[in-house]
Amino acid sequence: MRAKRLRMAAIATAATAAVAAGSRAARAAAVDELIAKVKDKDDKVRAEAMLGAGAVGATAVKPLAGAMADADFEVARAARRALWNLVRYVGRPGADDEKKATVTELIPLLGDRQPVAVRREAAWMLSELAGDEAVEPVAALLSDKELREDSRMVLERLPGEKSLAALKAGLAAAPEDFKPNVATSLRARGVEVPGVPSKRMVATRQTTVKPLDAAQLQEAVKSAKQKKGKKR
């Protein structure tokens, strides 16, 4: 009986492995088809790919990110839109496993080996789906001049104490020209930041007002009287 049970267990394991292999093959085929459609010259085919990307799932994240760097503008744009549609699809209620898998694929896209455009989009996509797991890699972008604005705004959107702590640490480490920006995000999270002016209150352009001399003042009064007379 024991030998029979072992044989049955071995058969079940083999069957499960076969199903898994078949499932992987099916997912790979779906990704290949999606990318082929994204790169198609027909805009209707690309539109079909964009709309159907969500159903392909997390395995399509990296291939779509790669297509976002395509030299063909239309292909790159189609890939970006497809990836955003995927993010919104997995963000639906009740899709926690799909969401988690997608976040796992998005986080590595923040790495410095990726084009800036891909890293920026990935950060914002994480702001739609992620939690504490994305805080550290997003916060690392605060030191990148090209991405620090995106980083602090994404941290502002990520929920929880960990993202708040990252913003506080970011404020302490930020250069003077960027402190008001980080302070704005902290204030949006309900934190008082004394000693750092609001970005909205900082003058962006030096202005001077030159007073009128007597002749100019007389001319201005004369002009105002003439306009008033015309209205009558």
* pLDDT tens over the chain, length 232 residues: 555 454 444 434 433 333 334 577 888 999 999 999 999 999 999 999 999 999 999 999 999 999 999 999 999 999 999 999 999 999 999 999 999 999 999 999 999 889 999 999 999 999 999 999 999 999 999 999 999 999 999 999 999 999 999 999 999 999 999 999 999 999 999 999 998 887 665 554 555 556 656 666 667 667 766 666 655 5
Question: What are the structure tokens assigned to 221, written together?
Answer: 């009064």
Spatial neighbors of 11 by CB under 8 A, at least 6 apart, are none
Residue 181 inside a domain? The answer is yes
User: What Å distances lie between residue 104 and 61, 86, 125, 180, CA to CA?
Assistant: 10, 14, 12, 32
Q: How many domains does the chain have?
A: 1
The pLDDT assigned to 10 comes to 43
Residue 165 inside a domain? The answer is yes
Structural domain that includes position 138: 131-192
pTM reported for the whole predicted model = 0.75
Spatial CA neighbour of 68 closest among 9, 19, 114, 3: 114
The pLDDT assigned to 18 comes to 36
How buried is 21 (Cβ within 10 angstroms: 0-12 exposed, 13-18 middle, 19+ buried)? exposed
Residue 219 inside a domain? The answer is no
The pLDDT assigned to 198 comes to 77
The pLDDT assigned to 231 comes to 56
The pLDDT assigned to 211 comes to 61
| C-alpha–C-alpha distance, residues 58 and 106, integer Å | 9
Residue 161 inside a domain? The answer is yes
Residue 126 inside a domain? The answer is no
The pLDDT assigned to 7 comes to 46
Residue 147 inside a domain? The answer is yes
| C-alpha–C-alpha distance, residues 226 and 232, integer Å | 10
